[in-house]
Amino acid sequence: MPLILVPTPLGNLRDITLRALDVLRECDLVVAEDTRVARKLLSALGLPGKEIRAYNEHNAATTTPRILERARTDRVALTTDAGMPGISDPGSELVARAREAGITVEVLPGPSAAIGAAVLSGFPLRRILFQGFPPRASGARRDEFARASTSGVTTIWYESPRRIRAALADFERVAPEAQLFLLREYTKLHEQHLLGTPGQIATALADPVRGELVLVLKASESPKTSAPANGMIDETIDAMLAGGASVSAIAKSLAERGQGTRRDLYARASERKRLRGTSPKKR
């Protein structure tokens, strides 16, 4: 029988999927981060009376074997307090242990605050990095923000309302012009979107800060490098050919230095090799 990860609504109960309802209705055991939250959710969904067992970072060592034993014969649904189990919440270790034990694992699609915030930001999403919660120590937090601000990757963090102002202050120290998007209380009554620099967002946040928070950093633009003159490229190619480098190796090396596309550089190196009196080998 399977272990099924069931995403639960972040705030709006209508975000539960029909498939998730089917699994919760038919499962033999619900494994929950907090049994009180799970009972409240199941009651609101019209599914009271389910057997629920707690699974969290404090009891994982003792409960994991019992959960896996149940999953061998029964349908076990794993939930978290809100969103996708395993994303900054318990679950990933249980999945790993289930796979080691040969137990089938299923993951239902559903709510994720990190992905929702990334899409709402309007930032480039060809490459994204989810970092969980930032470090609690200010120095480590500044180091992480500084690296992220020059990485060229749109980066996502969760943050506590108690620490968000300190986090924004650290961001302003290392990258005052960074473009950030803050999503507060996603899918809930007081959902808020804030876009701007760290200082602008800190100013717009009301005191006291309440609710669940997701912070998104816009990917930095890659530094533009001026293309070298054709003559300089030819001199470099000639020197590399003289040193015994193959045409494909030259194209790869120069492309990695930002001196053109690999295909164009291959053609150019091939031509330079032909002019030197030999034809490039077929590759």
CATH code for position 74: 3.40.1010.10
Say what the pLDDT of residue 283 is: 42
- Per-residue pLDDT of 178-213, as tens digits, reads 999 999 999 999 999 999 999 999 999 999 999 999
Name the strand (E) or helix (H) holding 194. Answer: strand 192-196
Q: Report residue 6 as tokens.
A: 């069931």
**Share of the chain residues as helix, strand and coil, in percent rounded to the nearest 5:** 40, 15, 45
Look at residues 82, 107, 132 and tell me which one is the last residue of a structural domain: 107
Say what the pLDDT of residue 229 is: 61
Both 145 and 239 in one domain: the answer is no
Claim: this prediction has a pTM higher than 0.85:
no
Say what the pLDDT of residue 253 is: 86
pLDDT over 70 (residue 280): no
Q: Which domain range does residue 12 map to?
A: 3-107
Both 78 and 155 in one domain: the answer is no
Q: How far is CA 234 from CA 238, 253, 266, 281, in A?
A: 6, 14, 12, 19
Both 198 and 117 in one domain: the answer is yes
On average, the pLDDT of the chain sits at 91
Look at residues 74, 107, 140 and tell me which one is the last residue of a structural domain: 107
Look at residues 107, 141, 173 and tell me which one is the last residue of a structural domain: 107
- Per-residue pLDDT of 12-46, as tens digits, reads 999 999 999 999 999 999 999 999 999 999 999 99
- Per-residue pLDDT of 44-79, as tens digits, reads 999 999 999 999 989 999 999 999 999 999 999 999
CATH code for position 135: 3.30.950.10
CB contact burial 80-100 (16+ within 10 A = b; e otherwise): bbbbbbbbbbbbeebbebbee
- Per-residue pLDDT of 127-152, as tens digits, reads 999 999 999 999 999 999 999 998 99
Share of the chain above pLDDT 90, in %: 73
pLDDT over 90 (residue 225): no
Average pLDDT over residues 216-226: 70
Average pLDDT over residues 85-89: 86
Name the strand (E) or helix (H) holding 159. Answer: strand 154-159
First and final C-alpha spacing in the chain: 51
> What phi, psi does 237 have (nearest 5°)?
-60, -45
Nearest by Cα to 105 from 113, 115, 94? 94
Say what the pLDDT of residue 192 is: 97
Q: How far apart are CA 211 and CA 218, in angstroms?
A: 22
Q: How far apart are CA 262 and CA 280, in angstroms?
A: 15
Q: How many domains does the chain have?
A: 3
